[in-house]
Amino acid sequence: MADLASMDKIVALCKRRGFIFASSEIYGGLGSTYDYGHYGVLFKQNVKNEWWRAMLSERDDIVALDSAILQHPRTWEASGHLAGFTDPMVDCRTCGQRFRADHLRDLQCPHKPSKHPGEGPQCDLTEARDFNLMFETTMGPVKDSGATVYLRPETAQGIFVNFKNVLQFSRKKPPFGIAQIGKSFRNEITPGNFVFRTREFEQMEMEFFVPPDEAPQWYEHWKRARMEWYVELGLRTDHLRLREHDADELSHYSSATADVEYLFPIGWSELEGIANRGDFDLTQHADYSGEKLEYFDPQSKERYVPHVIEPAAGADRATLAFLVDAYDEEDVPGEGRTGDTPSGAQGGEQRTVLKLHPRLAPVKVAVLPLVRKDGQPEVAREILAALRGRMQTEYDEGGSIGKRYRRQDEIGTPFCVTVDHQTLEDRSVTVRERDSLAQERVAIDGLGDLLASRLAAPWRSPKLTGAS
């Protein structure tokens, strides 16, 4: 079946339901920066929590770090970013626009969209020159050259420069990892495709320090583990692949890199990179800082510079992939449009639904009184109060029950609990499941345990057909 999730539909849903919208919108927006609203915050936080869970809670060989965005400028000399973190850029003297010289074939001429930049009769492109992607700013009150600092273009370097600190306080020995989630900034020449490529974004990076001879096996381990993470969280396996880089694609620091790629509406694109960075970073920072960045093994009396395996993911890009993967439109039986029963089917209707893994869904349960009278809102609020300490719960009494179900479908809420006239008689409610639309009657006592166990159960995308 063709995928329904075009980027336009995802953008429209995100804006309609307040997940993600253009930043500084009242001033016309600011080139490719985005703000996250209530559901977007909850959703992206769940993605990050799942990453922390995989890195910290499910292992005991990784520790957390939160390093500053502004770092000593020598960091970026040592890392190679100051000299080499560049994209080739051309300017058009006619329209004043700037383009990635290596992406011209994928871009449109702003004057003549049927042509690529440089192909139109009026195009007048400059020679390509290197453009550094780091944002510069000035530290302190005096704007001289010595005060220039950079917004970090990756979280990784904050980990390398803290290697010695962490080694001391964490009492770990290789193999061990340092994990960090945080904002990174890149002055991308051609950002685009919503939050796929932006100038301000969040990364989830982990640097795993290993004895040099163990690097190949840990590289294999992390490729496997990172693929499994996406699969466990419900990304369809037929939309996910691992692609090993060819030798001419490798970054200067890497001896091997593989990308986890997802089939976005724009085609197969990088979701995460897993790289064998060797001893490049620690050696560079040791040279530039004069600090010894190595490990001394007291048992073997061996001293060595650990090698690094790095799984580097983007929180925004992962969030986008989960959104795209979950988006569905389908015809469903009308639900409860008679207004007096939650399941009174009447005719068919279309719904837009996010079939998100329950652990990622921004809201887990919606509590809905069928009518706004007869004591139903009071019981619904009592249920809300009991559930909300345990799971993200929302109360909604506005509009027909069918409309309220549709609203919850659009934000991917896995369960709706409906209070109706029978609830007042026997303290039972209906639990409606998002994907199957199945409804069952259950007692209010034990409702929290029932929902918690269902939310924790393994989950597979209902969009995934066949055995893949």
**Residues at the interface with ligand GAP (CB under 6 A):** 154, 156, 186, 188, 197-198, 201, 203, 205, 270-273, 312-314, 316-317
Sign of torsion over alpha carbons 226, 228, 234, 237: positive
Beta carbon of residue 49, minimum distance to ligand GAP (angstroms, whole number):
17
Beta carbon of residue 337, minimum distance to ligand GAP (angstroms, whole number):
42
- 3-state DSSP call for residue 398? coil
Who contacts 377 (Cβ-Cβ below 8 Å, separation ≥6)? Answer: 369, 397
> Which region, left, alpha or beta, applies to residue 109 given φ > 0 means left and ψ of -120 to 50 means alpha?
beta
Angle between helices 315-326 and 38-52 (to 10 degrees): 110
Measured from the CB atom, is 312 or 380 closer to ligand GAP?
312
Beta carbon of residue 157, minimum distance to ligand GAP (angstroms, whole number):
8
Measured from the CB atom, is 197 or 285 closer to ligand GAP?
197
| Phi, psi dihedral angles at 392 (to 5 degrees) | -65, 115
- 3-state DSSP call for residue 349? strand
Beta carbon of residue 308, minimum distance to ligand GAP (angstroms, whole number):
10
Who contacts 142 (Cβ-Cβ below 8 Å, separation ≥6)? Answer: none
Measured from the CB atom, is 245 or 381 closer to ligand GAP?
245
Beta carbon of residue 271, minimum distance to ligand GAP (angstroms, whole number):
6
Beta carbon of residue 313, minimum distance to ligand GAP (angstroms, whole number):
5
Measured from the CB atom, is 285 or 317 closer to ligand GAP?
317
Residue 165: which H helix or E strand, with range?
A: helix 163-170
Measured from the CB atom, is 313 or 356 closer to ligand GAP?
313
The structure tokens listed for 14 are: 């995100």
Measured from the CB atom, is 117 or 314 closer to ligand GAP?
314
Q: From residue 171, how far is each of 11, 35, 166, 174, 428 by CA, in Å?
A: 46, 39, 8, 10, 53
Beta carbon of residue 133, minimum distance to ligand GAP (angstroms, whole number):
9
- CB 447 within 8 Å of CB 458: no
Beta carbon of residue 315, minimum distance to ligand GAP (angstroms, whole number):
8
Sign of torsion over alpha carbons 6, 10, 12, 16: positive
* Owner of token pair 């329904």: 4
Measured from the CB atom, is 205 or 410 closer to ligand GAP?
205
Measured from the CB atom, is 286 or 315 closer to ligand GAP?
315
Taking the C-alpha atoms of residue 41 and residue 45, their distance in angstroms, rounded to an integer, is: 6
Measured from the CB atom, is 183 or 427 closer to ligand GAP?
183
Q: Taking CB positions, which residue lies at the least distance from ligand GAP? A: 314
Beta carbon of residue 87, minimum distance to ligand GAP (angstroms, whole number):
11
Q: From residue 191, how far is each of 30, 46, 81, 202 by CA, in Å?
A: 12, 25, 19, 15
